[in-house]
Amino acid sequence: MRSMALLLAGLALAGCQRLSDLGRPPAMAAIENPTDDPNWRPVSMPTPALNQPPASANSLWRPGSRTFLRDQRAAQVGDLVTILVAIQDEAQFRNNTERQRNGTDEMGIPRLFGLPSSFPTVFPNTIDPSRLVTTNGSQNATGTGQTQRNERVTVNVAATVVQLLPNGNLVVNGRQQVRVNSDLRDLTVSGIIRPQDIASDNTVRHDRLAEARIAYGGRGVIADMQRPRWGQELLDTLLPF
């Protein structure tokens, strides 16, 4: 009874949460420091120590700089870098499997402990001791599978350098939200980049991200229509059939 009451209370709270959003567009998240997230953890990678370039005496040029006065690319914690996300993946798989097996087994006991004359006392006279067990088996299996996927995402997002690794690589994290009418599109990008991969215009391609985590989704009226009701999701999770 108590578990049923807890279940009904949870359903009521979930329903109230959905009712509180009626007539309102999805709320945007506040601008926050990514490192303040309780789930955020600093990245630890097996990297060597960063070697500082030697200073040149009587020279105005700094080693590693792309400009005469200052390198405009992101290099320190808090700097911004633009991630160019251009994902275009296509995959197609098709598998056919067919299997067939037939088997026949026969087993008999002509003599049992050297006493063949004892069979008539144990078994009826119509049983042949040499053919006590006979089995036949036939198995057929046919399987067909096909997968076809076509994904394309093209978007640019500015990310913040949140950590500088010992070898000079940068850990970046970026988030972008766009609300159109009553639908909210959310894009998050995080990963590790090398300073050498940052272009002169302070951009880097998404395929240069190590340990890349790119998520693109949304919520709102259109997204809500594409999802089943929370009651149906609950039944789909709990029902074993």
pLDDT tens for 210-237 read 888 988 888 877 777 777 777 777 777 7
Please report whether residue 118 resides in a domain: yes
Number of domains in the chain: 1
Instruction: Determine the structural domain holding residue 119 and report its residue range.
Output: 93-146
Please report whether residue 186 resides in a domain: no
Please report whether residue 113 resides in a domain: yes
Please report whether residue 105 resides in a domain: yes
Please report whether residue 130 resides in a domain: yes
Tokens encoding 143: 């399987």
Cα→Cα distances 184→121, 209, 220, Å: 85, 26, 6
Task: Give the number of C-alpha atoms closer than 13 A to the C-alpha of residue 7, restricted to the C-beta side.
Answer: 8
| 103-121: pLDDT as tens digits | 887 777 666 666 555 556 6
| 139-194: pLDDT as tens digits | 787 888 887 878 788 889 999 999 999 888 999 999 988 888 888 888 999 999 99
**Hey, which residues does 92 pair with through a beta bridge?**
148
* Strand, helix or coil for residue 2: helix
Please report whether residue 137 resides in a domain: yes
Please report whether residue 126 resides in a domain: yes
Please report whether residue 117 resides in a domain: yes
